[in-house]
């Protein structure tokens, strides 16, 4: 029984390691079976590669965790079975975290691509408008009122 569980964990680990390395190196081919499955990922190759590049290292970590779990499973007995179970839980959390990070990356990149297509500028570019409109003018400041308030404060202290 322990050999069977060890082999299953090794096969899963190999799968995760291969997919993780391909994703991290931006070589994971676009497909409908393996990878992040949110609509934003499918919109461009750039978004696919970037989101999977973010998820890849966590998937590699999950594969390594399963390798350790498999090696322990080959010799496990009694309470030692807790360690393979813990490594499987760690691997599941790692895969889920990688998918979450990748999906969030895809969403952000898709939103940026939409802004660029619509001609929107970000506030970092100096304008906060969209559609070619001008940024709102800065509110007028009465410098004399500021000076009077500052001098009144200095007299009180």
- Domain count for the chain, please give it: 1
Q: Report how far residue 118's alpha carbon sits from residue 41's, in angstroms, rounded to the nearest whole number.
A: 19
- Identify whether 72 is part of a domain: yes
Q: How confident is the model at residue 146 (pLDDT cuts 50, 70, 90)?
A: confident
Alpha helix positions (H), the chain: 2-24, 45-75, 82-118, 143-156
- Identify whether 147 is part of a domain: no
- Identify whether 155 is part of a domain: no
- Identify whether 41 is part of a domain: yes
Per the model's pLDDT, the better-predicted residue between 131 and 48 turns out to be 48
- Identify whether 141 is part of a domain: no
- Identify whether 153 is part of a domain: no
- Identify whether 135 is part of a domain: no
The whole-model pTM stands at 0.75
Per the model's pLDDT, the better-predicted residue between 31 and 67 turns out to be 67
Mean pLDDT of all residues belonging to the chain: 88
- Identify whether 156 is part of a domain: no
Task: For residue 36, give the H/E element and its range.
Answer: none
């Amino acid at each position: 029984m322990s050999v069977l569980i060890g082999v299953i964990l090794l096969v899963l680990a190999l799968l995760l390691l291969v997919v993780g390395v391909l994703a991290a190196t931006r070589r994971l081919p676009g497909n409908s079976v393996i990878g992040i499955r949110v609509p934003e990922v499918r919109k461009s190759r750039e978004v696919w590669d970037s989101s999977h590049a973010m998820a890849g290292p966590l998937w590699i970590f999950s594969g390594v965790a399963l390798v350790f779990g498999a090696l322990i499973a080959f010799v496990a007995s009694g309470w030692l079975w807790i360690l393979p179970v813990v490594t499987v839980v760690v691997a599941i959390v790692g895969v889920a975290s990688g998918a979450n990070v990748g999906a969030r990356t895809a969403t952000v990149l898709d939103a940026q691509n939409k802004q660029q297509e619509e001609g929107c500028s970000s506030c970092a570019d100096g304008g906060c408008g969209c559609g070619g409109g001008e940024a709102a003018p800065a509110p007028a400041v009465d410098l004399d009122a500021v000076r009077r308030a500052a001098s009144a404060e200095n007299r009180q202290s």
